[in-house]
Amino acid sequence: ETLQRIVSTLANKNDEIHNFIDMLNHTIRNVQVNSSNAISELDEEFDGLYSILDEMKGSMSNTIQQEEARKIQALQ
């Protein structure tokens, strides 16, 4: 009878361990998906910011070139 209780307890603990492992695996998959989504969103955000900065660079460069041409023309 004692041996039967020990075996039963071990079987229950084994089931608990397997359930815990399944839960951990599920959590790992969720973390991986969430991390992947966060990286994708970050990539999109930086791409958008880079695009805006590139537009601003073009505009500012154009303004500087126009100012340069105006000043050179005034000095000539």
In 3D space, the residue among 30, 52, 29, 33 whose CA is nearest the CA of residue 41 turns out to be 33
pLDDT at 71: 97
Tally the domains of the chain: 1
Q: What is the pTM of this model?
A: 0.66
Place of tokens 């990286």: 39
Q: For residues 23 and 2, what is the distance between their CA atoms, to the nearest angstrom?
A: 31
Where in the sequence is the domain holding 27, given as residue range(s)?
A: 1-75
Under the banding of pLDDT at 50, 70 and 90, the label for residue 40 is: very high
Angle at 26 between CA 23 and CA 29, to 5 degrees: 150
Using DSSP's 3-state secondary structure scheme, residue 5 falls into helix
pLDDT at 55: 97
